[in-house]
Structures are given as structure tokens and as C-alpha cells.
Structure 1
Amino acid sequence: MFRHEFANTLSRVIGVVTAFLMVSTWPLALANAESEMGVTVADYVNAAGSRRYLVYTPSGDTEGRPMIVWLHGCDPAANDPTKLLESPLARVARERGFVLVSPMQPTSAHPGACWNWGRESDQHRGSGEPSIIAGITEEVRDRLGIDPDRVYAIGHSAGGLMTTIMGATYPDIYAEISSWCTGAYAGGTDTTGLAAHAEMGSRARPLPVLVVESNTDPLSTVPLGRMAVGQWVGTNSATLAMASHPRPRVLRQEADPGRGFEHGATVETYDFGPAQVRMLALDDGGHLLDGDSDGVTEYAVDFVLGYRLR
């Protein structure tokens, strides 16, 4: 009962407040999306439902390229191709040459266009929204000849929580995940990591994870981010059958000017052999990471592209 009420309450708060913060006057331009340089629109359908998605392909051959799946937060305007093209992630995609995929959450699925991370039926492999997102990922990966060992997921807010779910449900598809302004698996309630480990099943492996939080975020607070880190530490520990959790090693205590951070930042890393669970905590920026979205994006892309599935 607590888990259900906690997830529903947190989902409503994030959905209402974030939609208010992020709503934009940009018109939806799906009809003209294919005329935008490198952006196409497609629809995916499976037994769980259907979703439209955007694919941004920088110029050149896609064969063997890496791919990042971006899961937006509670923002109806996130479905605008123009907004995707103007995002820091699209800019970095142009610079690094990876393919960017953005599944769209319609307001018919959630009034605030939030991914339904708090709904139990959307937290498991082969069902609900995770199956749709995984299906989109595989469809684009196979169609464009993407390197199957270099597929990643990054998400913000409600999208960050759904990214956590994707890491637990499909660790055989995503080489690494990065969740921003987020929480733990199972609607933010998996404090031990054992539920995520059980969800991984026979596909369990130490999963590299980057969690990003802001010390001034009023919605997804740093304690929630630390719960997410603790969950993945527990999940990876269970996978490796460790007797105890490793202690964190602080790698950086101040902002790295080379990353473009406007505010200070602290980095903590837990090592699991070839995989790391890392937390980047910004000193400021709020829920939308104001002033640091470029730096966070570059930092996250550097982190995820450093890993391969096999």
C-alpha cells in the first residue's frame, strides 16, 4: 500500500509541477518533421499499445554507429521535432555522430505527457511502456544498422525514472543508462536493489549507471537521487554476489570548467569491476538543471559512450 501511494503521489507532484515549468508555446510540427534536417517520425505498435517516436540522424552512414534513446520528462512540448533539434543532446549528437531516438509520450497516456513509471504494470519486461520503448529501440537499431553493443538510454525526471526501469527490465539491450533528477526502481521504492535484480533475472549483469541530481531540485531531491544510487549499488552487488557494498570514492569535488558547469558539482563513484555507478550532484540548477544542461549532457554522453554491452 505504501509503495503504491508513494509512487502515485510522487508521480502526480512531478507531473503537475514539471508540466507547469516546462510547457512551451512551440507548436507540434509532426507533419513537417521529415523536412527538418535528419529528423524522421515513425510509429511503433505492439500488444501493449503504440507510440510515435522521433529519430535524429546526423549526416552520413548510420552503419555501426552508437545510439542514445532519450526519454523526456513531463513536457507535452517535448514531442516537437524543433525542440529536439535545438536540445543540447542533438548538438552533441551532431558533434559525436550518434543516432538520437526520442519516444513520445502522448497526453492521452498521461495528462502531463509523463511516462507512467509509478504504475506497476509499466515496471516489467514484456509489458506496458517498457515493452514499447524496448521495441522502438530494437526497431531503429536494426533498421539503421546501429552497433548493438553501443545502445544507451538517458532520461530526465519522469523519463529518468522510466530509464531506471529500462535498465532493470532490458539490461540485454542497453549497455548503460543515465537517469537525471530521478529515483529508484519500482516507483522509487526499491531501496535495496533486490527488486531490480530480480527483474533482471537471467539477464542480470553489473550495469553502468550515471545518476544526475541538483542540490536545489525541489521535486527530485538529492535524497531521492541517493536512493537511486543505493538501489543500483545493491543491484550490482547482488549480481556479483558481493558480501558487502563498496564504499564510494569521490572523484571530483568541484565543477570541471571543461564541462561548462555554471555551478559547482560533486562526483561519487562506486566501482564494480568494468562497471561504475556514479552520481553527479550539482550545487544549483533546480529541477531543469538551469545553466548546466549543456555540461550535464556532455558529461553524460562521455560516460555512456565509454561502455559497450559486450
Structure 2
Amino acid sequence: MPLPSRAPTPLRDHRASPPTPRPAPRRAPARRPALAAVLAVLALLAAGLGVFASAAPASAAGLTQVSSFGSNPGNLAMYEYAPANLPAGAPLVVAMHGCTQSASDYFANSGWQKYADLWGFALVLPQTSATNNSLSCFSWFDSTKDTRGKGEAASVVSMVSAAASQYGSDTHRVYVTGLSAGAGMTADLLADYPDVFAGGSVDSGLPAQCATTQTAASQCQYGSLNLTPAQWGDKVRASDPGYGGPWPRVAIWQGTSDTTVQPVNATELRDQWTNAWGIGQTASSTQSLPGGTSLSVYNDPQGKPAVELYQISGMSHGLAVDPGSATDQCGSTGTYYIDTICSSYYTARFWGLDGSGGTGGGGTGSLPAPAGLAVTGTTGTTASLSWSAVSGAASYTVYRGGTAVGSPTGTSFTDSGLTAGTSYTYTVAAVDSSGKAGPVSSAVTATTTGGGSGACFTDNNYNQVAAGRAHQSGGYAYADGSNQNMGLWNVYTVHTLKQTGADSYVIADGTC
């Protein structure tokens, strides 16, 4: 089914008064407040956007429905997820499914749960239904539903307010992402509520307020409006008159072989958000990423990435995932979940959810990512790495699991103080003479030596699973061999496992 996210229906001004309760403003407050044709449009969307997985809300481990969350003019359902013992002040991410999909489908396949567990943030997953749209699409194309203070847009902000209150979230770090129709609504939300959302990710989607009628939606989806960057930027500025910034930081993901949402939409999104930021359309830096992905970074005046454009060679319509256990791998393949690169990982890093400060895939420096990162040796407590030199690099920053652990001036590094028999993921970035780190390299995994019967390993459940001493099922971790339940699969639950044989472990807290 099509991308009815921006299906045919105008994008009017949803601007009525915001829902109550609404999150405390992130930035400076500046508010104010034909049947045959429709059937033809729906048929077009169904043919072009392809039917996503069933919209019926299947259960997903750990995903909870919230029956009451405040004002709900858009008639949406709210689902949420948070890792155990989530501290107050953590970020909040809103993730929006595509047409005919459901919240649980997106939760299970997109990879966002992995990073919520790993880096500690809450998830909100809005869900629409066939009652709202026959294809269960978010109404990115309907101005009575996708503008500030109205319809679905207002309902999503009500969800944000409820979740932020429940979890004590940092209202300066609220983000929104979506696929296809959900991506169209994501772009609208960023324009409608720049005071609520610090950043967004538009995956196979369209520019904010691209269509203003249902019949115009197909032109956005399959063609180009041929607007200038200033005209695209005006659509953002008109969505919340009087707001002067700062603007959300926007990631744009697009397959070059997408016939459902033409690739020109990615360029138009780039034009729209760079213009809103007041920066040019010439990339500050570019680099190649896994999965045939080309990244173009557009920095703000302070040299920090404001807009990132990810173009995936040969990918059709869908969300980019990369199943696997490495830190930079995520998600499950399926209809409209395409095995190329883990878009959720790079988006989360762009927003700084990993503690990197929002360097994303691009970093703030101009030097390229080091090539040839390799593990040259391991012991029970160390891992040694090497990589190719980058011309102009004054030093390098080595990251373990996204956290900086070293700043060598040469092209090798030995990380110490590690746990025996444990897997660690590393990346490295080149640092220029001004101290700015560039984009990170591809990741490698190093596994320390040791283990054997009687060996003990203390680590969080997420890392125990990654190291191969445990496995996860239904959001819980279980010790390999003994199958003992270790509790929730996250970074906040820590156990000691004692090895009792080949691939066999028991919980041994306080006994090793």
C-alpha cells in the first residue's frame, strides 16, 4: 500500500491551541494560536505504497498500551516502552509506523528497542487504524489532522506530554522518527512543534506540508513540486508563525531505487531543513557508510551537524535495517524492512542518544573516517586495534560501545581493564588540529580470551547476551545452558555468570 502518509489531502494549518497537557517548551515559546476522486487516490496509494504488514496490533514483548493520555483529537492509540530502572532526565523518542503497519510491528522490526535498552531512553509508538484511514496511514496530507493543535499531530504531542510526565523525561531531548506515511507525519510534526521536538528522522518520507489536498499528495509522492529551498523553508516557518528557532536537527533516509516515494523527496527535504536553519545546500562533509550508503552532512554555523542526508544505493521503499549483534547492527528484515544498514543506530548517534554529543554518522570535523580498523590481538583483559592513517589527523578518538576510551596520536591502541571472555565493539575517528573529531569508522568486535569451566563473568544483561553467554527471548535474558531467567535484557540489570561447561552458564551473583 502506498505511503498514504502524505496521501492526497491538503496540509492545512492544524494550529489551534495545543493539547493539554503539553510538554514544557523546549525552546523559546512562540505560539499562536469527491468520492470517486478519493477512491482513485486510495487505489493509487495502494498500488504505489505497497501493503505494509498487518495493521492489527500484534503483541510485542515489553510494549504497553496506554489507554488514557489526555486530549486525543486524532483518535490514535498510544503504546510505550522503557527499559527497567530508567533514570529521570532520560531522552524520549516517538516512533511512527507506516501504512498498514502497527506500533508493535514497528517496535519489533525497527531496532529502536535495542538502543532504548543500550543507551537508556523511553519510546512512544503512536498507532492509527482503519477507522482513521482505510490503509491505516497517518494523515500527513490532511490539514485538519497534521497541523499544530489539530487531529493526529495534537494527539502525538499529548502522548509526549503524558510520557514525559510519567518517566520524568528531559523535555529538551524529545525526538520523532517514522517510516513512509509515518515519516510524512514526522516531517509535519517537526514543522508544527519545533518547540517540542529537538530532532527528527524522516525515513522514505516527504517534506513537511508538501501536499495541501488529497489529490496533490500523489504529486509529492511520485513527482516534484519544483520549489526553491526558500519556498520549502517557508512551509516550515508557516507551520508555527512567530517561532524563530533553534530548529530540530533532521536526518533524512532514502533509497535511490524507491518507486513509492521518489528519491527527489530526499533532496527537497534537504533543501527545506537547511533553509529553515539558514545554511546552504552544499554539504559540509560526505562519507561512505555500510550498505552502499552515502552520507552528506550539513553543519550549523557552530560546526555541528544540523541536517544529515543518507542515500542508500539500490534500496527500494522501506526502513533500512541490518540484523546482527554488533552495536551498529539492528532490526529484523521483513516487508518494508530492508537489510542494508541500521538506520536507527546512525539516527540515534546523530541525536546524541549514545552520549556522543550528537556527532551522528558525520562528526563535526572535516577529516574522513579511518579505514582498515582491525583487531590485532586480545588477552583476558585487553584488546589491541590498528587502522590506516588519515592525512592531516592530529590524533584519533577510539570508542568502545559508543563511549570514548582513548586518544592516541598513532594508528594503534590497546584498550585495557576488560572482562575475560567478553565481546566489545570499537570504532575510531580522526581528530583534526582544532580538536574536532570526524565521522567514525566501520565497527569491529573484539572478544577477550579466557573462560572455561569455573570462570566468572560480571556484566549487564545486554552485554552478557552480546558476549554469547546468554540469549534473549521476549525482552528477557536467559543464561545459556541452564536457561536461568536473568531478568530484563538491558544495560541496567547486572549478573555474574559462572561457566559450568562448553556454552553453559549459571547465575552466580556473590559467589564468584
TM-score, structure 1 length as denominator?
Answer: 0.81
Q: Given that residues 15 and 74 in structure 1 are in contact (C-alpha distance below 8 angstroms), is that contact kept between their aligned partners in structure 2?
A: no
Query: What is the 5 A alignment of 1:1-310?
Result: 13-14=44-45, 16-20=47-51, 22-24=52-54, 28-29=57-58, 36-37=61-62, 39-43=63-67, 44-46=69-71, 48-76=73-101, 78-80=102-104, 84-186=107-209, 187=211, 188=220, 192=231, 193-205=233-245, 206-237=247-278, 246-249=280-283, 251-255=285-289, 261=290, 263-274=291-302, 276-288=306-318, 289=320, 290-292=338-340, 295-305=342-352, 306=357
Note the aligned Cα RMSD (angstroms). Answer: 2.7
Give the structure 2 partner of residue 258 of structure 1.
Answer: none
The amino acid that maps onto 1:172 is D
Deviates more, 1:96-105 or 1:297-306: 297-306
Q: 1:10 & 1:111 partners in 2: Cα distance?
A: 12
Aligned residue pairs, count: 282
Tell me how far 1:141 sits from its aligned partner: 0.8
Secondary structure at the counterpart of residue 264 of structure 2: helix
| Contact kept in structure 1, 2:295 and 2:309, CA below 8 Å | yes
Aligned counterparts of 2:203 and 2:43: Cα–Cα separation in 1: 18
In the other structure, the counterpart of 1:241 is none
How far, CA to CA, are the matches of 1:301 and 1:113 in structure 2? 27
Greater strand fraction, Structure 1 or Structure 2: 2
For the 8 Å contact 1:62–1:99, the answer to whether it is kept is no
Q: What SS class does the counterpart of residue 203 from structure 1 fall into?
A: coil
Q: Note if contact 1:250-1:267 (Cα within 8 Å) is conserved in structure 2.
A: no
Structure 1 residues 12 and 141: alpha-carbon distance in aligned structure 2, compared to 1, 3 A threshold? farther
Q: Deviations over 1:198-225 (max 9, x none)?
A: 2232333133111110101111121111
Q: Which runs of 4+ in 1 moved over 3 A?
A: 3-19, 26-30, 188-191
- Cα deviation digits, residues 30-81 of structure 1 (max 9, x gap): 6xx6xx33x22113352624321111111213411111100111123x233x
Q: Which runs of 5+ in 1 are unaligned?
A: 238-244, 256-260
Q: Which moved more, 1:195-204 or 1:133-142?
A: 195-204
Query: How far is 1:119 from its partner?
Result: 0.9
* TM-score normalised to structure 2 length: 0.51
User: Residue 251 of structure 1: CA displacement?
Assistant: 2.8
Partner of 1:240: none
CA gap of 1:138–1:98, structure 2 versus 1, over 3 A, is same
CA–CA separation in structure 2 for the residues paired with 1:277 and 1:149 = 18
Distance in 2 (CA, whole Å) between partners of 1:64 and 1:266 is 34
Computing the radius of gyration over CA atoms, which structure comes out larger, 1 or 2?
A: 2
Distance 1:83 1:299 in 2: 17
49-58 or 106-115: which moved more?
Answer: 49-58
1:233-261 Cα offsets, whole Å, 9 max, x none, are 22222xxxxxxx52422633422xxxxx3
2:99–2:180 contact (8 Å) kept in structure 1: yes
CA distance in 2, matches of 1:79, 1:247: 34
Aligned-pair CA distance for 1:118: 0.7
Distance 2:86 2:183 in 1: 30
Conserved? CA contact 1:67–1:152, under 8 Å: yes
Alpha-carbon distance between aligned partners in 2 of 1:114 and 1:152, rounded to the nearest angstrom: 20
Of the two structures, which has the highest relative contact order with CA contacts closer than 8 Å and spacing of 6 or more? 1
SS class of match (1:120): coil
Amino acid across the alignment from 1:131: A
Counterpart amino acid of 2:344? T
Mark the runs of 5 or more structure 2 residues left unpaired by the alignment.
Answer: 1-6, 12-37, 212-219, 321-337, 359-512
- C-alpha separation in 2, matches of 1:204 and 1:163: 20
Residues 147 and 286 of structure 1: CA distance in aligned 2, closer, same or farther (over 3 Å): same
